[in-house]
Amino acid sequence: MRLTHLADYAVVMMTAAARRPAAACLSATELADETGVPLPTAQKLMQRLAAHGLLTGTRGAGGGYALARPVTAISLADIVEAVEGPITMTQCSGSDEPSDCALDAHCRVKPHMGIVGAKVRGALGAVSLEELAS
């Protein structure tokens, strides 16, 4: 399993935000400058992270984004899922619906792939933003 560039950038940006004082407002421009993430990508990611409850946005002069929860209450899994969606290991994971897979009709592993995804999510969920930022 490998993170996409967007998920990787989101982790980098969230760790940079976590190193700031609690409730500090940050702009996409500040985070882009600090992390090297291109500004349009930083803006897009901050909106997505806010939509998933990881950042809160404040409009107007002096506005920006701040962490929505303490760094101990945000996990690596939360960040990855905000960008990528639910953590699944295969295209058929987490669904009883038929998939595009040629083995779908007779696969004996499919019923167990949800367990694997849950374990991976659990491992990523055990890593807090606080740990990543230290």
Question: Could you report the per-residue pLDDT of 71-97, keeping only the tens digit for each?
Answer: 999 999 999 999 999 887 777 666 667
Query: CA 73, CA 55: separation in Å to the nearest integer?
Result: 12
Rounded CA-CA distance 110/40 in Å is 38
Read off the pLDDT of residues 90-129 as tens digits, 9 standing for 90 and up: 776 666 677 777 887 788 887 788 888 889 999 999 999 9
Reported as a single tens digit per residue, the pLDDT across 5-35 is: 999 999 999 999 999 987 788 899 999 999 9
What contacts 22, CB < 8 A, 6 or more positions away?
Answer: 67, 70
Task: Please determine, for residue 133, whether its predicted confidence score (pLDDT) is greater than 80.
Answer: yes
Bridge partners of residue 64, in order along the sequence: 58
pLDDT of res. 96: 66
CA dist 66 and 24 (Å) reads: 6
**pLDDT the model gives residue 128:** 96
| pLDDT one-digit tens code per residue, 29-77 | 999 999 999 999 999 999 999 999 999 988 877 778 999 999 999 999 9
pTM metric for this prediction: 0.86
